[in-house]
């Protein structure tokens, strides 16, 4: 079988969203550790390509060999345009340029399974995906029909562990010990370089030492109250930190301005890209944020991070791999200001 080769061609399918892509990263290093000569390609939504570019194989470094952008979100809005179909067939041609021995699909959605179906496969290829839903995660049972290996995972399974579980099953490796921390998310040399990276001219209003507060998230129930953010910001600002409230859309920008306006010296930065987010997070003394993608980016970069859970289960995405991450709250049990402030001060003192 293809999995018996020391240099199999492996396709990873994890399309979105920001946090989900981040929590899929450790399987690249699991694969490289045991199959250093494998070809590893990854299909991802085009908006998240920037999350994977630091992993591209280059001289002296082996990570992801190919990133294959998938424009489904944009294509669905323009189904009747000729350009959409030209782009789709170009994607299909790119995807089918390699015959894969192993396909690892860790999302459990029909759109991801369809990518597996489109991919060119060797005669005995393994197509591995989730056999069941996990609590509080999206899952479409029809996706199972596109796999030839369906992997049963625990109903309560951390996002990182779930991806590694499917990967190990695909390669017929021993299943994951929950105490086995992921070895990497991003290369250590890349993280070290981020500390000296300059942010773009438009973001020079950031003045060290600063603290990032990611208060915005798509689901209202996952938000921590504005009153809490204002109280926390005032306390941290009084200790000499510039408090920064990023945003993702016009409504979030307005709310950032409302919060920042009540904290001495707090600022609302311009919009920034995923690429800029890396260096902005790396330059911060601390990141405090709700259960959202950019908070998870801080955690996977190993930066001092306080993760706030208000209406999502902490076990699902908490950063468990570093003592520089503190996870507070749980589903329908948001933490108090004192708890978040205490954790923040402890991390700042490290």
Distance CA 61, CA 134 (A): 34
Give me the residues paired with residue 128 across strands: 104, 149
Q: What share of the chain is helix, strand, coil (3-state, %, to 5)?
A: 40, 20, 40
pLDDT at 285 over 90: yes
Helix axes 274-283, 293-300, angle to 10 degrees: 60
Structural domains of the chain sorted by starting position, each given as residue range(s) with its CATH number in brackets: 2-185 (3.40.50.2000), 191-349 (3.40.50.2000)
pLDDT at 200: 61
Q: pLDDT category, 165, cuts 50, 70, 90?
A: very high
State pLDDT tens for residues 289-333.
999 999 999 999 999 999 999 999 999 999 999 999 999 999 999
Query: Does the N-terminal peptide bond of residue 148 adopt cis geometry, omega within 30 degrees of 0?
Result: no
Q: Which tens digit of pLDDT belongs to each residue from 120-136?
A: 999 999 999 999 999 99
- Enter the pTM of the model: 0.94
Of 316, 280, 329, 315, the residue nearest 301 (C-alpha): 280
Q: Is 106 helix (H, G, I), strand (E, B) or coil?
A: coil
The span from the CA of 348 to the CA of 134, in Å, is 35
The number of C-alpha atoms within 13 Å of 112 and in the hemisphere containing its C-beta is 31
Confidence class of residue 253 from pLDDT cuts 50, 70 and 90? very high
Q: Which residues contact 124 (CB under 8 A, 6 or more apart)?
A: 1, 2, 101
């Amino acid at each position: 079988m293809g999995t018996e080769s020391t240099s199999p061609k492996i396709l990873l399918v994890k399309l979105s969203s920001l946090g989900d892509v981040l929590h899929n990263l450790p399987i690249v290093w699991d694969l490289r550790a045991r199959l250093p000569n494998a070809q590893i390609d990854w299909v991802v939504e085009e908006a998240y390509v920037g999350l994977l570019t630091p992993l591209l194989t280059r001289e002296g470094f082996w990570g992801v060999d190919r990133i294959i952008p998938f424009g489904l979100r944009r294509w669905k809005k323009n189904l009747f345009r000729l350009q959409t179909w030209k782009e789709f067939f170009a994607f299909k041609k790119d995807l089918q340029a390699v015959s894969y021995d192993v396909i690892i699909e860790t999302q459990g959605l029909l759109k991801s399974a369809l990518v597996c179906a489109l991919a060119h496969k060797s005669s005995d290829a393994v197509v591995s995906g989730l056999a069941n839903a996990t609590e509080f995660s999206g899952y479409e049972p029809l996706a199972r029909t596109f796999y030839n290996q369906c992997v049963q995972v625990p109903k309560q399974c951390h996002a990182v562990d779930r991806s590694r579980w499917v990967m190990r099953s695909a390669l017929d490796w021993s299943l994951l010990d929950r105490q086995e921390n992921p070895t990497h998310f991003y290369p250590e040399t890349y993280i070290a370089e981020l500390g000296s990276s300059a942010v773009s001219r438009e973001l020079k209003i950031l003045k060290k030492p600063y603290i990032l507060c990611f208060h915005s998230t798509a689901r209202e129930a996952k938000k921590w109250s504005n009153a809490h953010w204002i109280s926390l910001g005032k306390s941290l600002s009084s200790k000499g930190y510039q408090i920064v409230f990023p945003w993702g859309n016009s409504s979030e920008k307005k709310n950032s301005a409302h919060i920042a306006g009540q904290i001495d010296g707090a600022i609302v930065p311009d919009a920034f890209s995923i690429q800029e987010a890396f260096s902005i997070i790396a330059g911060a003394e601390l990141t405090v944020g709700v259960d959202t993608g950019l908070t998870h980016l801080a955690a996977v970069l190993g930066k001092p991070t306080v993760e706030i859970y208000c209406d999502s289960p902490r076990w699902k995405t908490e950063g468990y791999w570093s003592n520089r991450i503190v996870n507070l709250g749980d589903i329908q049990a948001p933490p108090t200001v004192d708890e978040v402030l205490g954790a923040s001060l402890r991390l700042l003192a490290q």
